[in-house]
Amino acid sequence: MTSPAILPPDAEALYSRLLQQVRAAVAAQASPPLLIGIYSGGAWLAQRLHADLGLDQPYGVVSSTFHRDDFATRGLHPSANRTALPCAIAERAVLLIDDVLHTGRTTRAAINELFDFGRPARIDLAVLVDRGGRELPICPQLTAATLALPDHVSLALLRDEDVADGIRFRFDLVRK
C-alpha cells in the first residue's frame, strides 16, 4: 500500500490567518511591537506584515548564523546575511517572526542574536507553520497552522515578486 501524497499547505491562506492574529495582537498593545523577521522566510513575512499593517516604525531582520549550535559543522554560509535593526531594542516589545518552527534551535539562535543588541522588554513569537518536533522549550504565541510532517520532509517558503499586488508566498516540500 502506498502512502498518500503530501501536499504543501497554501501559504497565502496561512499568511491571511497570521495577518489577522498579528493585527489583533498589535491592536491590543499600547504601542506596536517592533516586528523582526528571522532571515530569510521570517524576514519576508515581516516585510509584508509591516506593509499590510501600515506600521510607521520600520521592521527589522535578525540572522541566526553566528549563534547556531551547529555552526562548527555547517560553517559560515558565504552569503550570510546580517542583522539589521531599525532602532535600539532595549526595553522594547518585539514580535519575532519566522516561517516554519520545528526544533526551536533557529529561534533560540535568533533570540541570542537579539540580546547582543540589548535586552527587549518582551519577545513574542509568530510563525506561519508550527510543525512540532521541538528540541528546546520554544513556543509561538501566534501560529497560522500546526502541521505534522515526516522527518524526511521539510517546508521551504518561497516568494514570488512578479505579481501585480506585491509579494506572494508559496510552500515547497523538500525531501531530505
pLDDT digits (tens, 9 = 90+) for 77-132: 555 578 999 999 999 999 999 999 999 999 999 999 999 999 999 999 999 999 99
pLDDT digits (tens, 9 = 90+) for 6-56: 889 999 999 999 999 999 999 999 999 999 999 989 999 999 999 999 999
Separation between Cα atoms, residue 17 and residue 162, nearest integer Å: 23
Separation between Cα atoms, residue 62 and residue 47, nearest integer Å: 12
Does some domain include residue 153? yes
Separation between Cα atoms, residue 80 and residue 109, nearest integer Å: 14
Q: Residue 154's domain is classified under what CATH number?
A: 3.40.50.2020
Tell me phi and psi for residue 17, to 5 degrees. Answer: -65, -45
Does some domain include residue 109? yes
Residue 100: its pLDDT value, please?
A: 97
Does some domain include residue 66? yes
Does some domain include residue 22? no
Q: Which domain holds residue 104?
A: 31-71+81-175
Q: Based on the structure, what is the number of domains in the chain?
A: 1
H-assigned helices in 33-135:
41-53, 71-74, 105-115
Separation between Cα atoms, residue 97 and residue 114, nearest integer Å: 13
pLDDT band at residue 138, thresholds of 50, 70 and 90?
very high
User: What is the CA angle 141-144-147, rounded to 5?
Assistant: 105
Q: What percent of the chain stands above pLDDT 90?
A: 77
Does some domain include residue 4? no
Does some domain include residue 8? no
Does some domain include residue 130? yes
Does some domain include residue 106? yes
